[in-house]
Amino acid sequence: MARRKKTVVKSSPATGPGREAWFIVTALVLSILLFDSDARDPFLAIRMAALSAWGLAALTWLLSSRRPMAIAGRPGRLFLWLGLGYLLINLASLWKAQNVPEGLLAVARYGLHLALAYLLLILLSNPLQEMKLLSRFLTATLAACALIGIAQYYDVLPFDIPGTLPPTGLSGNRNLYGSFLVMLLPWAGFSFFQNKGLWRNLSIAALALGGFALVLSQTRSAWLATGILLATFQLLLLLRRHQLSEGLRRQWRYALLAGVMGIGAAIALAFASGSPLANSIKWRAKTFFQLPAQHAEPANEAERNAQDRLYVWKHTAEMIKAHPLLGIGAGNWRVRFPEYGGSSAPSFEGIDQMRLRPHNVYLGIASEAGLPALLLYLAMGALALGAAWRAGRRAKSESEALLAILLFSGLLAAAVDMAFSFPTERPEHNLLLLVYAALALNLAAGAGAAPKQARSTRIILAAGLVALLGFSFWMALQKRQLDRNMQEALRLETRGNFEMAARLSEQAEARFFSLDPIGDPVAWHTANAYKQMKQLDKALEKAETAERIQPNSHRVLNTKASILMGLERYEEAVPVLQKAVQLAPRYEPALTNLAYCLYRTGQNAACLETLEKLKLEENPRLLLVRSDAGYKMEMAKLENSPMYQVGLQFALEWKATGRAGISPAARALYEQRASDEAFIQEYFQTINTYCQAKAWQRGDTPEQVEALGLRAEQAGAALTAALPADMLARRILYNNHLQTVARLLNPPPGDSDNSGILFPMNE
């Protein structure tokens, strides 16, 4: 059989990058590098504003240069129509929004993305021509971001970048950092294949550093997406091998080896040094194969994290089921989720934190804007993936085939990552995704001419783009002003300058938005400042405003209740705190306040039940509350007890004279009972209750009080079994009750059954 000859299509020469490529690089620089340390959210507003301004500049250049404004290729036009439909559905979802400003911010971001998609489809109309500069820039970005993250993790970065647990790179969050690395990896691969010398070596270094940093990110979604990326790329190399040279396929092994070596080096270093990273890797890797049971006690942070993801997804699905068409309103997940799944984050993230996201882009879209919006979003993704696939099949050069493979692999990896993370929260992630999509759509469209446009159409398009970009820019400025006000207010509060903090918080309240970046109402911060200044009436007014804005925040409710407690309105505070505890069952500040309010309102049994959920060893004040509440609870049971009144008369007589006899009241009580057995049972119940009251009074723990009650119960049972009822009843009548109580409270060593608790009078 004749051997089939491989067809290798040589790379077509590419011209140098034009202004279009430099425009794209400028946008990427703005979206990646900018942050504002003086803002509560250092990343979103400033990058959103920068991209909006960039879009207006790019549009101005396109119009002034009389460039065609039409999109070549039906897939690109369909992509934009789907994006417009997605934007309009999100806008319509505001009808269901509890917090409309948050919804408008989300709509402004979607409008920005739609405008950027349009501009990128025009600017990247010649994909191969722009690839050399873009791939080099993004390769350098991967190397720089990886180095920054590595330096953050090992605490050798010479400057500070805002963020949570390192490494966060320039994204401010470990999950987002891992997602960004995954999205950059394909570009380093493309640069490696298309360059020689210095840039090829830099590409190898970027792949190795990227793999190393991915391990340090400790982000399972990014690890999984990287695996999908590599597997898909390998599979497509096999499917497209007739389009690719043997040399290129050989080079792939070196690129793969570089990434694997980076990953291996990070893992080996972690295990060799015995750092906490080693355990983190093991725990996270285990959850790929064995998910923890939802209600089991998690063994480590990775299992707690996985449990919380499952919990959040389950309750987000309930939101979707309740609001399938328009959702609960764009941008309103964090506002409405507490109604379904509580308001506090899991303890490993800090019990005082709010849940901010569902950790699944698709569930987030469906819950906020409904299932139709999700279908449109998925259709846009499928369109971009399909375009990359078709471009690979129709490739006329090796470079074109390789670019199509990288685009398809990168888009699929991003789609997988979005199922477990939240990369679309950051402007830079969205911009890079749109670059992927625009390149894929234009590569599939080929070199076909764009359809002609009427002048009126061009004017309408320009007006629409200006409206979207202008609105996005205005919203970003409003958000940034709020974030800066809030950050300064919190700094002042930390320094004890509550008066100025309250003034700044009130200024922030006058802004367009009413929630800060972590979901707390701005008015809540004002309430806290007034509370610290002891201006409780003003503080309560602000707390009630905050509750109207976010009625399901355990933090807001606890603050309102603590203000009511300061005003000694304990009865009003109880239902507020009960709701806070219902939303966040482990939130200790609310549990502490609830226990105290229940105590102050005489609800001693409920107070003790609440105190059992707290660690009281660190709070002496609550130990006193527990003792007094227990004592009052038991004594309340004795208030209407005739047996206790008889015992009280006995105690008073004994203390006064040192002697006591059988009082007429005791004999009358005995004669009034239906039987000796009934009299005996009532006696031991009364003794038991009284002993428990004394135990609470002397500061015993609940366990000790319970043990004492069991001891008294066992003693009564032993005597009842040992003596005839009439004899035991007579011994009780002649008993020294004070000595019985003393014996039960302080049993002598070796007294196993406590049966010797009855003492003849004057013995």
Give dist(CA 497, CA 533) in Å, integer: 9
Strand partners, 344: 354
Give dist(CA 192, CA 198) in Å, integer: 10
Q: Of 309, 347, 296, 344, which Cα lies nearest the Cα of 220?
A: 309
Into how many domains does the chain fold? 3
Residue 663, domain member (yes or no): yes
**Is the same domain home to 581 and 610?**
yes
**Is the same domain home to 82 and 185?**
yes
Estimate to the nearest angstrom the gap between the alpha carbon of 512 and the chain centroid: 25
How is residue 382 written in tokens?
């499928």
What's residue 313's pLDDT?
96
What's residue 156's pLDDT?
95
Residue 223, domain member (yes or no): yes
Estimate to the nearest angstrom the gap between the alpha carbon of 440 and the chain centroid: 33
What's residue 291's pLDDT?
78
**Is the same domain home to 638 and 626?**
no
Estimate to the nearest angstrom the gap between the alpha carbon of 733 and the chain centroid: 65
Residue that finishes a domain, picked among 418, 436, 468: 468
How is residue 228 written in tokens?
């999908």
**Is the same domain home to 712 and 726?**
yes
**Is the same domain home to 167 and 254?**
yes
How is residue 128 written in tokens?
């191969």
Q: Count of CB atoms within 10 A of residue 84's CB?
A: 16
What's residue 206's pLDDT?
95
Residue 475, domain member (yes or no): no
CB-count burial class (<10 Å; 0-12, 13-18, 19+) for 11: middle
Q: Which phi-psi region, left, alpha or beta, contains residue 14 (left: φ > 0; alpha: ψ -120 to 50)?
A: beta
Residue 210, domain member (yes or no): yes
SS3 of residue 756 by DSSP? coil
What's residue 129's pLDDT?
83
Residue 33 contacts residue 170 (beta carbons within 8 Å): yes
Q: Of 23, 33, 25, 32, which Cα lies nearest the Cα of 60?
A: 23
Task: Please name the residue that has the structure tokens 């939130």.
Answer: 587
User: With pLDDT > 90 as the criterion, what percentage of the chain qualifies?
Assistant: 65
- The dihedral built from the CA positions of residue 667, 673, 675 and 680, taken in this order, carries a sign that is negative
**Is the same domain home to 563 and 445?**
no
Phi, psi of 210 (to 5 degrees): -60, -45
**Is the same domain home to 444 and 579?**
no
Task: Please name the residue that has the structure tokens 């959103």.
Answer: 48
**Is the same domain home to 643 and 714?**
yes
Q: Spell 538-574 as b/e; 16+ CB within 10 A means b.
A: bbbbbbebbbebbbbbbbbbbbbbbbbbeeeebeebb
What's residue 755's pLDDT?
64
Mean residue pLDDT across the chain: 90
Q: Which domain holds residue 272?
A: 19-468
> Which amino acid makes up residue 576?
V
Q: Which CATH number fits the domain that encloses residue 573?
A: 1.25.40.10
**Segments of the chain with pLDDT less than 50:** 1-16, 763
Residue 376, domain member (yes or no): yes
Residue 268, domain member (yes or no): yes
DSSP-assigned states of every residue in 187-241: HHHHHHHH--THHHHHHHHHHHHHHHHHHHHT-HHHHHHHHHHHHHHHHHHHHTG
Cβ-proximal residues to 751 (8 Å cutoff; 6+ apart), any chain = none
Give dist(CA 627, CA 599) in Å, integer: 11
Round to the nearest angstrom and report the end-to-end CA distance of the chain: 118
**Is the same domain home to 663 and 687?**
yes
What's residue 744's pLDDT?
86
**Is the same domain home to 298 and 430?**
yes
Q: Of 241, 233, 282, which Cα lies nearest the Cα of 388?
A: 233
**Is the same domain home to 287 and 157?**
yes
What's residue 6's pLDDT?
43
Give dist(CA 129, CA 348) in Å, integer: 48
Task: Please name the residue that has the structure tokens 């460039």.
Answer: 67
Task: Please name the residue that has the structure tokens 């109402």.
Answer: 521
Residue 250, domain member (yes or no): yes
pTM (two decimals): 0.89
Give dist(CA 626, CA 610) in Å, integer: 10
What's residue 228's pLDDT?
96
3-state SS string for 346-398: CHHHCCCCECCCCCCHHHHHHHHHCHHHHHHHHHHHHHHHHHHHHHHHCCCCH
> Which amino acid makes up residue 481?
Q
**Is the same domain home to 495 and 459?**
no
The Cα-based distances of 43 to 33, 105, 147, 272, 488 in angstroms read 9, 15, 20, 36, 16
Residue 582, domain member (yes or no): yes
What's residue 762's pLDDT?
58
